[in-house]
Every structure is written in structure tokens, then in C-alpha cells.
Amino acid sequence: MSRLCEGRVAIVTGAARGIGREYALQLAACGAKVVVNDLGVSREGLGRDTSAAQQVVDEIKAAGGEAIANCDDVSEWKEAEHMIHSTVEHFGKLDVVINNAGILRDRMLVNMEESEWDAVIKVHLKGTFAPCHHAAVYWRNQQKLTGEPVNARLINTTSFSGLLGNIGQSNYGAAKAGIAAFTIITARELKRYGITVNAISPHAQTRMTESLRERTPEEIALRHPRWIAAAATWLASAESAEVTARVFELGGGFLAAMEGWHRGPQAEPIDNPNAIGPVMLDLARRARRNADMRGNDLD
């Protein structure tokens, strides 16, 4: 493995399992010093196992890498701040934050409880906003202190569900769509300091996805999180400095840059508000034809 991230200090949230664990292992193998953050909760965000993050740290150390465990809840403001500050205290600096922690509480809208909405929105959206905020404040202060741009990275996690829509995931998809928008806005804000912000929309076999449908052993092998980790490791490196405000969808050998909302069919200027209905119907039909041609109409 190349030493792509030699000397860089990276926090990975939700790194005890699944994709996050693979991020932590690959970053360490590429020379990064890694903070393995995880609460050790169930897929639904319940319970707590503070030994989970330490197990990944032990694995990294056994392979000759450098890592520490952190059990802060990323969706709690003060705990996210503590995670950033304790990293800088321990390793002397911070270069990369990968916001990966997540939970699921899938339910059709008509059956969804308020608590299921709140829990998912909090872990994903606030659990991305809070670490990003505290890290960005640290980097802005560094930039002011030295007068030099930092070469820092925020890497967020969105999802197919947030970008194109999965039934039964209105809470999760809303949070993930929010993360995609948050990524683009903060990228534009933070460029001046030398901070890039990108998001990954992964497809991988983890406990989060294993129950969705039966897969063959070949499919499972192709969905190994190492593909996602290879992309995140490159984004985390100094090599990716020119790439910002992008959302990448990937899994196995598949990789695409997502292009989000754009203006589709547009009507001629309208001079009579009473005639707007038929024009909207025509636009909706043309938009649907376009979606059909792209093969991703969602009706």
C-alpha cells in the first residue's frame, strides 16, 4: 500500500464497523495517524459498546500503524468539540475529518414515529454539522495564525436514498440529501482557507445493508468496503486539493461523479397566471420523459 497519507492526522466517525472501520484501516496503512471514533451502537442507534473503537485501534497497532480510540457521540455539540480538541491535543494537529457515523430507523411515512425521525436526522445531519463546524473553526484559526492555507479535508457521507430516493427511508433520505447540500455550501465557504469538502455515496456490504436483499458470494465480494476506503483515502490525501464540492457514488468497480439538481425543461415566459396549470402539466410530462430516457424515473 502506498504512503499516500503519510503524517496526516485523520478522524473517522463511526469507525468501529463497516465502511468506517475500513477507512480507519486503510488510512493507517497509508501512513495516517487515525482517531477511531465510535459509540458502538446497534444499527438503530441503541445500546453502547465503548470497546468497539478500541478493537479497531488494536488492529491498526498490530499492523504497525498509529491510532487512538474516541467514544464521543458525534451528534452532541460538546462531544463533537471534544473529539476535535482531544485529537489536536494528542497528535498536535488535524488534517482530515471523515463523517461516516450513521444509523437507520426505516419506516413508511404513515407509520413513522416522531422519535424515529428525530434520531436519524440528529445522528446524520447534526452528526455531520457538529464535527465539521468545530474542525473548520480550528483550521480557520490555524490559517490566520500562519497566514498559509491549510490543506485540510472534510469528507461526508450521503446515500443513494438521499440523492435518488428509497421507499421507507424518508427520515434517512432527508438527512442524506441535506448532507449533500451541506457539502456543496460548506465547500464554497471553506475554499478560502484551503479546506475541501466532498461527499461519498457508498454501496457496500455491511450490517446496514445486509438485510436489504439476498446477494451472491460474488456480489458480496464486489461490495467490499475497501473500494470505498480507497476513494476516501485518496480524497484525504494532499493529492486531492483541487477536488471540492463533489459527490461521488461508488461501490466495487463502479464510480461516478453525481450531478445534482439542475434546471430541466423550461417554459416560455408566462404573462397570465391563470394559464399556469397546463404549462406545469406540460413541463412535468417533459421532465418525466427525460427521466425515462435516463432510466431513473422513480414513480
Ligand X SMILES: NC(=O)c1ccc[n+]([C@@H]2O[C@H](COP(=O)([O-])OP(=O)(O)OC[C@H]3O[C@@H](n4cnc5c(N)ncnc54)[C@H](O)[C@@H]3O)[C@@H](O)[C@H]2O)c1
CB 146, min distance to ligand X, A: 31
Residue of 75, 126, 172, 201 marked active site: 172
Part in contact with ligand X (CB under 6 A); list of ranges 33-41, 54-62, 262-270, 285-293 = 33-41
CB 154, min distance to ligand X, A: 14
Residue of 165, 80, 178 whose CA lies nearest to 120? 178
Contacts of 280 (CB under 8 A, 6+ apart): none
CB-count burial class (<10 Å; 0-12, 13-18, 19+) for 98: buried
Residue nearer to ligand X on the CB measure, 142 or 159 = 159
Annotated active-site residue 176? The verdict is: yes
CB 151, min distance to ligand X, A: 25
Q: Contact between 41 and ligand X (CB under 6 A)?
A: yes
Q: Contact between 14 and ligand X (CB under 6 A)?
A: yes
Q: In b/e form, how buried is each residue of 8-40, taking b as 16+ CB within 10 angstroms? A: bbbbbbbbbbbbbbbbbbbbbbbbbbbbbbbbb
Part in contact with ligand X (CB under 6 A); list of ranges 135-143, 200-208, 230-238, 261-269 = 200-208
Per the CB < 8 A criterion, the answer to whether 28 and 3 are in contact is no
d(C-alpha 38, C-alpha 49), whole Å: 9
Apex 135 CA angle, 161 and 82, nearest 5? 100
CB 282, min distance to ligand X, A: 35
Apex 170 CA angle, 262 and 48, nearest 5? 125
Residue nearer to ligand X on the CB measure, 45 or 142 = 45
Residue nearer to ligand X on the CB measure, 184 or 283 = 184
* Residues at the site binding ligand X, with contacts judged by CB under 6 A: 13-14, 16-20, 37-41, 43, 45, 73-75, 100-103, 123, 127, 157, 159, 202-204, 206-209
- Write out the catalytic residue numbers: 159, 172, 176
